[in-house]
Amino acid sequence: MSKIKKKVVVGMSGGVDSSVVAALLKKQGYEVIGVFMQFWYPEGLGYGENRCCSLESWQEAREVARIIGIEIHKVNFGRQFKKEVVDDYLLKHKNGQTPNPCIHCNKQIKFGLFLNYAKTVFGADYIATGHYVKMKKSGSQFKLLRPKDKNKDQTYFLYNLKQEQLKHILFPLGDYKKDEVRALAKKLKLPVHAKADSQEICFVGNNREDFLRCYLKPKIGKILDAAGNELGQHQGLVLYTLGQRTGLGLGGGPWYVCGFDWRKNNLIVTKNSRDNRLLSKEIVCKDVNWLNKKEMKLPLKCQAQIRYRGRAQMCQVIKSSRDFKVVFDRPQYAAMSGQSVVFYHGQELLGGGVIV
């Protein structure tokens, strides 16, 4: 009696990573189904046809599916994406925060809505994505680890995953480097083997500032130094973030954004990159998720990373009322409300939360 194949639904964007994932899983004997997810994009903000869910990307995904020999379906998640990801991004900027929409998209769409869709519509055993992350099972628990390709490490974006989700997810690219993935795609004669990577925030177009101007209509105001001297004009507080040193339009610099006066609509800058307003020995975070909650014992000594490309730094995590306090061994630069702080023990992703 032949063994029943496990069914896996692959989120195929028309890019090289998800295309190779589908091909690898087909070769490993899974019953593979491709799903091309359509999201929401604004009109007229300079989008190229290379964006992740354009008509061209859909055609590329269909061609890859044909070559691999799998079926592929297109599903429109635009309404949910606009509400859960885009509107949330705009609201948090309006409230003076610096959000990471990719983290929110993973939580609400790719490993929330898409996972439920794959299980309900296709009866899938698993979903699979092109994220660069390793996963291993330890007893009854699943653990996420940094991948082989440290330059493509995407663990930072996945700290909201839960054990119930992890048992239904596959990450086939954890043991590959990006150039190896491209070489494999070329060997398989996949037409997307040399396709450029998509931009980090898919829906903001070619210019984040243009997107925020269009939807938030920010007001021009004054740029002041710490003594209250007027140095110039800013184009809207929502366009700037703590520690920013480019795009300020000021001479005699470098100048660094070190504060926001939301009541008076003033942007505060300094020439001192080690200004105390830019450094945080302690931060508070909320909405914390631990991947293996049973193993977490507080206070916890670990490493923490406050931005995607940042370095993980030694810290102690302490329970503080309903939230958590993170005390760093060394002060951290430009920790902004709305960013995520993500915790690690060596190569293992422990969890994370949102900086208050």
Catalytically active residues are 105, 202
Distances (CA, A) of 86 to 45, 211, 222, 280, 336: 15, 11, 28, 29, 19
Scanning the structure block, which residue is given the tokens 């890859």?
64
d(C-alpha 259, C-alpha 151), whole Å: 31
Scanning the structure block, which residue is given the tokens 């406050």?
306
308: which DSSP letter? T
Partners of 283 in the beta sheet? 326
Q: What is the largest CA-CA distance in the chain?
A: 82
Query: Listing from the earlier edge strand, what are the strands of the sheet with 31-38?
Result: 71-76, 31-38, 7-11, 126-128, 169-170
Q: Residue 236 in contact with residue 220, Cβ under 8 Å? A: yes
Structure tokens of 102?
């990719």
Q: Residue 39 in contact with residue 70, Cβ under 8 Å? A: no
d(C-alpha 333, C-alpha 353), whole Å: 18
Between CA 265 and CA 83, with CA 354 as vertex, the angle to 5 degrees is: 75
d(C-alpha 50, C-alpha 56), whole Å: 7
Scanning the structure block, which residue is given the tokens 């061609």?
63
CA dihedral 120, 126, 127, 130 (to 10 degrees): 180
Task: Quickly count: other Cβ atoms within 10 Å of residue 88's Cβ.
Answer: 16
87-94 vs 208-216: helix axis angle to the nearest 10?
Answer: 80
Scanning the structure block, which residue is given the tokens 């003594």?
227
